[in-house]
A and B are shown apart, each in its own frame.
Chain A
Amino acid sequence: MQDLLNLFIKSIFVENVVFAFFLGMCSYLAVSKKINTAFGLGLAVIFVMVLTTPLNYFILTYMLKDGALAWIHPSLATVDLTFLAFILFISTIAGAVQLVEMIVEKSLPALYAALGIFLPLITVNCAILGTSLFMQEREYNFAETAVFSFGAGIGFFLAIVLLAAIRERLRYSNIPAPLQGLGIAMIITALMGMAFLSFSGIKL
């Protein structure tokens, strides 16, 4: 229990997907102009992460890992399909996003309209694929995977909402013309990353 809590906090603050690994930058920079859309995208990312990472965990454990297919037939115990991880992970994510999109469109048309193009864009959000790959690389068990994916999603959500709030505050700042827009957003991200560095080395 202590370990899981530790992992949860670590994945939000210490190893924030945005500030520590610079994943998911494209949607992070593009959708952070307004707090409300950033909020919606952040929620969608949390949802997709929590859905796909455990799903990918099952795919990995029961289909891809060395000897994982033994449950079908003993003769398959020597098969190692790990090289298919990338393509299967991304298909799961694409499928999950499609599913989310259909559900949201059907049941919550208002939210669907607000999110617009950003909902399908989650498919190519590297933070989500990254979370699945971290799960594979660090060999998490199921409980850890579930906690880690939720924490990573909250980390992304927090990062994008914070950036959006800062950008809204800076709307009337006299930023030099060449830096307006993405330029200043990247500088802000770097400065935010510096503030988040205070968590590195934390021991719980």
Chain B
Amino acid sequence: MHQTLPLLRDGTYCPIPEPNCRESVKPIQRVIDSVKPHFKKGGKLEKFHPAFDALETFLFVPGHTTEQGVHIRDAMDLKRTMFLVIVALIPTLLFGMWNVGYQHYLAYGMQTTLMENFLFGFQKVMPIVIVSYAVGLGVEFIFAILRGHQVSEGYLVTGMLIPLTLPVTIPLWMVALSAIFCTVLGKEIFGGTGMNFMNPALLARAFLFFAFPAYMSGDIWTDLSPEPGHALVDAYSGATNLVAFDVDYTQMSSVSDMFWGFEQGSIGETSVFACLIGALILILSGVGSWKIIVSSCLGVVGMGLLMNVLAPADIPTHAMHTPAYYHLLVGSFAFGAVYMATDPVSAAHTETGKWIYGILIGVFTVILRIFNPAYPEAVMLSILLMNVFAPLIDHLVIEQHIKKRIKRA
């Protein structure tokens, strides 16, 4: 009877007939199965098993079965979780590409179509994404092979987050440097995905920010590669809304521009709308914690309102007068709260802790934005700071919980 049913990769027979069985992706699988023995223990390419394993499990759900205990496996493993985050990042990536082109042509006062804008941005953004992935994954594979652990799929997300948090004019070697820095010192040194305590993508950005400040602030947000026959328009200013905000908050773009993202900034951070789509995907799939997103918004609005109350009445343009909801729209807050703060590894792990963690992110964001004009990109820094505080928050929450339970008993 077994002759008629397809043989599966793990050596068992598929209970359903051919067309519905996953054997239907035969050509790729045949290649993989044919080279598999070389990578097994004792094979001549045994050393490269982690690399092979990474590719195999990326293409197929792992075929191995549990030997004892629970036999139910969730198909939602780490690789597919990470993949969902990538899906959630696609809106910001696509919008970011378009906006790069839009801002470029806007600076030269040229009338362009949607497709032209997008193609220009695609040309500029793709190299950054490719370098980030190639270098970061290269480091991951080297570590995996040397240390004999599996290739962590976490980099799939990190490698996409890094370009989205950078200005489009960033030199490619800096992207490579930051990818190496964050993979080695932010993650691999702690043992790989899930064992670090800081968000690697944020670390990459902070590293560039502190190491090469000239490339991370100033007139770098729009790609100004020359357009033959066109000169920069007079109204062009390289300042982002966050810089304008510190001088005179009424100089910021309109609310709708900031919401849709027609402003200068890092590649992926400008559009709140695109981030909201991403947030929806993350929350509905259960990958991102809605508690963190909601509480960081609450923190920002609460602190913004407090600032309005405390603002000096004699300077009507002072940053402290900024309406609280502006803080949600300006800069990278939406991007940070949706994609960076919800990182399940570096955020607080306890449920109460998540609320505290999120609120503190919001509070520190507003404080740093207003009182630290040197670092207008306060969101990334305050999330990084809260990454440091998260273990302590968890500890205090658990202690509190233990005390409560003892009292009740």
Q: Is B190 positioned at the interface, with any CB of A under 8 Å from its CB?
A: yes
Contact partner of A166 among B207, B378, B388, CB < 8 A? Answer: B388
Whether the pair B395, A35 counts as a contact (CB closer than 8 A) is: yes
Partner of B384, one of A179, A194, A202: A194
Most chain A beta-carbon neighbours within 10 Å: one of B192, B198, B389, B391: B391
Interface contact A194-B387, CB-CB below 8 Å: no
A168 on the interface (CB 8 Å rule)? yes
**Is A126 part of the binding interface, using a Cβ–Cβ cutoff of 8 Å?**
no
Task: Tell me if B134 counts as interface (CB < 8 A to partner A).
Answer: no
Asked whether B197 lies within 8 Å of A188 as measured between CB atoms, the reply is yes
Q: List chain B residues, Cβ under 8 A from A194.
A: 203, 206-207, 210, 384
Tell me the dominant secondary structure on chain B's binding face.
Answer: helix
Judge whether A162 and B190 touch: CB under 8 Å: no
Contact with A along B176-219 (1 / 0, CB 8 A): 00000000011001111001111000010011001000000000
Instruction: Please tell me if the beta carbons of A198 and B368 are within 8 angstroms of each other in the complex.
Output: yes
Interface 1/0 per residue, A188-204 and B, CB below 8 Å: 10011011111111111
Is the CB of A4 closer than 8 A to any CB of chain B?
no
User: With a CB–CB cut-off of 8 A, which chain B residues contact A162?
Assistant: 388-389, 391-392
Please count how many residues in chain B sit with their CB below 8 Å of the partner chain's CB atoms: 34
B197 engages A170 (CB within 8 Å): yes
B residues 369-385 in Cβ contact with A at 8 Å: 371-375, 378, 381-382, 384-385
Query: What residues of A have a CB within 8 angstroms of the CB of B230 in the complex?
Result: none
A202 and B381 contact, CB distance less than 8 A: no
Q: Which residues of the other chain, A, contact B149 by a CB distance below 8 angstroms?
A: 174
- Contacts A166-B197, A191-B186, A198-B372 given; indicate if A175 touches B191 (C-beta within 8 A): yes
How many of chain A's residues have a CB under 8 angstroms from any CB in B?
A: 30
A161 to B396, CA, bound (A): 11
B190 touches A170 (CB 8 A): yes
Say if the beta carbon of A107 comes within 8 Å of chain B. no
Q: Which residues of A contact B389 (CB under 8 A)?
A: 162
CA distance A13 to B19 in the complex (A): 64
Instruction: Write out the residue numbers on chain B whose beta carbons fall within 8 Å of the beta carbon of A195.
Output: 198, 206, 381, 384-385, 387-388
At the interface, is chain A mostly helix, strand, loop or mixed? helix
Q: Does A138 contact B (CB under 8 A)?
A: no
Q: A173 within 8 Å of B by Cβ? A: yes
Given contacts A162-B392, A175-B189, A199-B372, 9 further A-B pairs with CB under 8 A are A162-B391, A165-B394, A173-B191, A174-B191, A184-B189, A194-B384, A195-B198, A203-B371, A203-B373
A203:B372 contact, CB within 8 angstroms: yes
Contact check, A198 vs B375: say whether CB atoms are below 8 A apart: yes
Is the CB–CB distance between A200 and B374 below 8 Å? yes
A159 to chain B, nearest CB (A): 10
Q: Would you call A74 an interface residue if the criterion is a C-beta within 8 Å of the partner chain's C-beta atoms? A: no
| Most-contacted residue by chain A among B190, B198, B388 (CB, 10 A) | B388
CA distance A176 to B277 in the complex (A): 39
Task: Tell me if A113 is interfacial: C-beta within 8 Å of chain B.
Answer: no
Chain A residues positioned under 8 Å from B373 (CB to CB):
201, 203
A203–B385 Cα gap in the complex (Å)? Answer: 18
Closest CB in chain A relative to B72 CB, distance in Å: 25
A169 within 8 A of B: yes
